């Protein structure tokens, strides 16, 4: 049995982690047959050897395990789940990540300008993640995540790459079909497209949305939290919550068709906190992803970062830090995230190279879903900064539907933004889009749907906001577009010369390929 439900509800993430570690001790794992390096290391990923810290019994177990691994022929082990992520500078840095089903020797990436000339070979890092039987649904399960950070790349260049290990070399003629490509960000401002959604999980609908994403030819993709749903409880709960680490294997296999060529940039949501691996719940995420490390607090908030692509700055935030609704990590940054956010916004607004600022995170600032609706912590901590620095677009997930606001400032509608309309953030305010219908089961609205070709304007919508005191009912006038089916966001960015209007053309696209919303954000270039 897990921790009693009432007690679990009162635990924060660090307390849940401590409870699991006390219950599933190293001795228990060894007795239960957990014979992996990850088990001895305590369950988190282990970038280096830890055998020196093992007891004599554990050392014997490790020796037996290593001997059995030596028998695995690397030629029979195929990498899977490839996914790319930008480094701090998308013009010159990218990380190639993948999985292998068993331990392999000497993993690496080959890279070159032509598929027959993969002359550069870069050593890769293995991060081993162990989950013992009893922590969720699976038996003892070890995952091997591999990462290679590529630097000193040329801007605007398409590269071919292949991932491999001893016995499996992608440069060999019969393995050329395993190669992938990526294209670095341009050195100068050029038109480009990016896509975004949240709350995908593993499902047919997620797979269908991925197929449509690839057809948009995006420069990168933003995932606004709740990525794989290995933790279905969504609050980092303990063993009785149905956690299954194997879901990540399925998810990365599902998204590989896109993520092997399109940098997949996640923000972390409530379902991405997994209590077993670390006190902040993100130990598993740090094994699976290798994201920009320019955020304010890599120890507690590894999913907070920023990057600039062309004329657009993108900021990923972690709303678990300020969530009143799901307070498992409430206050974990001690306010440093919000201070960092303001410094980033000021820097980008002072830069003549940046026209647009796009922010994405999980919990919604403004949404009328019957499930989660709006997050008071976001409105309290971040919305004033979004307005002060005239943020151009805010993208959220959390609520499994598509909803788009009018232009908002001071919690009020400053300008109605009908389908096809244009917003001017410098004078009007901020537009918020909930794009949480990537694949998980859908939620509901209190008001009728209203989307492109099926407009149904209403004067007000009954909803609620999550506050420190609990749910508070509110009646809102800012809900402009409401669509209840699977969908994602496409954004076309068009630069302009000084004195002219640069634009973000934003479209909501349904799983059927039909457009359900479109609007423009315009800003005059300095």
Q: What is the structure's pLDDT at 240?
A: 53
Helices 247-259 and 204-215, axial angle in degrees (round to 10): 20
Mean pLDDT of 246-274: 97
Task: Tell me how far apart the alpha carbons of residues 235 and 270 are, in angstroms, rounded to a whole number.
Answer: 6
Assigned token pair, 218: 């995006």
- pLDDT for res 63: 34
User: Whole-number mean pLDDT of the chain?
Assistant: 89
- Tell me what the mean pLDDT of segment 337-349 comes to: 98
Residue 452 has pLDDT above 50, yes or no: yes
Confidence of residue 234 (pLDDT cuts 50, 70, 90): confident
> Mean per-residue pLDDT for 143-158?
97
C-alpha to C-alpha distance for 284 and 127, rounded to whole angstroms: 10
Which residues have CB under 8 Å from 146's CB, separation 6+?
79, 97, 98, 99, 100, 107, 124, 125, 126, 127, 163
Domains of the chain listed by start with CATH number: 5-70 (no CATH), 74-181 (2.60.40.380), 189-494 (3.60.21.10)
Going by C-alpha positions, the residue among 380, 402, 420, 378 that lies closest to residue 483 is: 402
Residue-wise pLDDT for 195-232, tens only, equals: 999 999 999 999 999 999 999 999 999 999 999 999 99
In order, the DSSP letters of 413-430 are EEE---TT-EE-TTTS-B
* Residue 202 · residue 227 · CB < 8 Å: no
Q: How many whole angstroms separate alpha carbon 451 and alpha carbon 484?
A: 9
pLDDT at 64 over 80: no
pLDDT above 80 for 158: yes
Question: How far, CA to CA in Å, does 397 sit from each of 303, 338, 356?
Answer: 15, 20, 21
Per mean pLDDT, which of 8-22, 52-66, 254-268 is the most reliable? 254-268
Structure pTM?
A: 0.92
36, pLDDT greater than 60: no
């Amino acid at each position: 049995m897990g921790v009693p439900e009432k007690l679990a509800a009162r635990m924060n993430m660090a307390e849940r982690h401590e409870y699991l570690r006390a219950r599933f001790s190293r001795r228990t794992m060894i007795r239960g047959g957990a014979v992996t390096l990850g088990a001895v290391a305590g369950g988190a990923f282990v970038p280096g050897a830890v055998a020196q810290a093992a007891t004599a019994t554990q050392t014997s177990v490790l020796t037996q395990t290593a001997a059995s691994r030596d028998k695995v022929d690397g030629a029979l082990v195929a990498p899977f789940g490839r996914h790319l992520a930008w480094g701090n500078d998308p013009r010159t840095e990218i990380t190639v990540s993948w999985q292998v089903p068993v331990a392999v020797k000497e993993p690496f990436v080959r890279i070159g300008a032509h598929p027959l000339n993969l002359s550069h070979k870069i050593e890769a890092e293995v991060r081993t993640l162990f989950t013992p039987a009893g922590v969720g649904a699976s038996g003892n399960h070890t995952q091997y995540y591999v990462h290679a950070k590529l630097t000193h790349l040329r801007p605007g260049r398409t590269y071919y790459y292949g991932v491999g290990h001893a016995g499996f070399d992608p440069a060999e003629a019969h393995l050329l079909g395993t190669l992938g490509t990526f294209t670095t960000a341009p050195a100068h401002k050029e038109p480009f497209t990016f896509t975004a959604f949240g709350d995908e999980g593993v499902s047919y609908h997620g797979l269908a949305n991925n197929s449509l994403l690839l057809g948009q030819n995006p420069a990168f993709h933003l995932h606004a939290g709740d990525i794989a749903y290995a933790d279905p409880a969504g609050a980092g709960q303990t063993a009785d919550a149905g956690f299954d680490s194997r879901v990540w294997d399925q998810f990365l296999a599902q998204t590989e068709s896109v993520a092997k060529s399109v940098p997949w940039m996640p923000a972390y949501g409530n379902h991405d906190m997994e209590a077993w691996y670390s006190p902040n719940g993100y130990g598993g995420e740090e094994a699976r992803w290798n994201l920009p490390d320019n955020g304010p607090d890599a120890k507690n908030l590894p999913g907070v970062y920023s990057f600039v692509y062309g004329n657009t700055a993108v900021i990923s935030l972690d709303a678990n830090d300020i969530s009143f609704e799901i307070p498992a990590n409430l206050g974990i940054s001690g306010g440093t995230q919000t201070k960092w956010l303001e410094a980033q916004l000021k820097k980008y607004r002072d830069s003549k190279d940046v026209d647009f600022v796009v922010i994405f995170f999980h919990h919604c600032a403004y949404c009328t879903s019957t499930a989660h609706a709006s997050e008071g912590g976001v409105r309290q901590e971040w919305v004033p900064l979004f307005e002060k620095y005239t943020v151009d677009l805010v993208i959220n997930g959390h609520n499994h539907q598509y909803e788009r606001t009018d232009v908002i400032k001071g919690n009020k509608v400053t300008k109605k933004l009908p389908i096809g309309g244009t917003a001017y953030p410098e004078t009007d305010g901020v537009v918020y889009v909930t794009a949480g219908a990537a694949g998980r089961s859908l939620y509901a609205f209190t008001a009728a749907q209203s989307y492109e070709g099926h407009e149904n304007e209403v004067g007000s919508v009954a909803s609620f906001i999550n506050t420190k005191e609990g749910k508070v009912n509110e009646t809102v006038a800012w809900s402009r577009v409401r669509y209840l089916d699977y969908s994602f966001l496409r954004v076309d960015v068009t630069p302009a010369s000084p004195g002219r209007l640069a634009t973000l053309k934003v479209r909501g696209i349904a799983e059927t390929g039909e457009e359900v919303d479109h609007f423009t954000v315009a800003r005059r270039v300095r």
